[in-house]
Amino acid sequence: MVTGAGSGIGAAIAEAFAAAGAHVFVADRDENGTQKVTANVVAAGGKATALRLDITNEADIAAARAAIAQPLDILVNNAGVGAVGTILTTPTADLQRLLDVNVTGTFLVTKAFLPAMLERKKGSVINLASIGGLVGIRDRFAYTTSKFAVVGMTKALALDHSASGVRFNAICPCRVETPFVAKRLAEYPDPVAARREMEGTQLAGRMARPGEIAAAALYLASDEAAMVTGSSLVIDSGWSAGR
């Protein structure tokens, strides 16, 4: 199952996993998005099922678990939200919203699906964090706070369940060309200048592409990554190299 799979990185991961032979549960609160991605997977010869899922809603999570009705081999916690601002310009409500989705939502989904993985002694949980979960990002107080928590959660899961056969890893991308980032750009007084700044933080001079993040998720879910757990895979085109 891939959460937040209705667009962007989540959609790319769902499509990559389906192309590799997985039956993908495309989960998102955006039902139009899940239907579109599922249709794309099926049209390409893959297997996918659309699920309406708000990861902050425990009833939604229970319904998704009932609908899947089998242990997951792979869980990708990709759903997330962001906001622009320093501590002085971030309303309490914005901080709480990011913590509710990025941290508590990831916690709730993992807690719901992990027991079946542990029982089978097999599985891979991949959390989408951010380079902002490893280094500070200017004007991203709430987002950075929440993504540091996701990285910490991933490490705690790996340690607590080190002998379980289930692996836990995080992916920490730089800025990725997605609808999510487009919304963040629109929040700036000068979106064009903001885009130039975002692209300039990567040594490649561009944002990453969703497919590049999907390739990393595919690796972490594979048997080739059997020795990888508790890790944060950085995909930032050198952004953090000098920090």
Residue 219 falls in the annotated catalytic set: no
- Mean of all residue pLDDT scores within the chain: 94
Tokens at 156, concatenated: 């705690």
pLDDT in tens, 204-237: 788 889 999 999 999 999 999 999 999 999 998 8
Residue type, 67: A
Tokens at 189, concatenated: 């007084």
Q: Is 138 helix (H, G, I), strand (E, B) or coil?
A: coil
Q: For the residues 104-132, what does the mean pLDDT come to?
A: 97
Report yes or no: 80 and 127 within 8 Å, Cβ to Cβ: no
Report yes or no: 13 and 78 within 8 Å, Cβ to Cβ: yes
pLDDT in tens, 160-203: 999 999 999 999 998 878 887 777 778 778 888 888 887 877 77
Tokens at 151, concatenated: 């990285």
Which helix (DSSP H) or strand (DSSP E) does residue 75 occupy?
Answer: strand 74-77
10 Å Cβ neighbour count for 203?
13
Q: Among the options 141, 143, 168, 180, which is catalytic?
A: 143
Q: Of 160, 106, 111, 163, which Cα lies nearest the Cα of 133?
A: 106
The percent of residues above 70 in pLDDT, for the chain, comes to: 99
**pTM given for the model:** 0.92
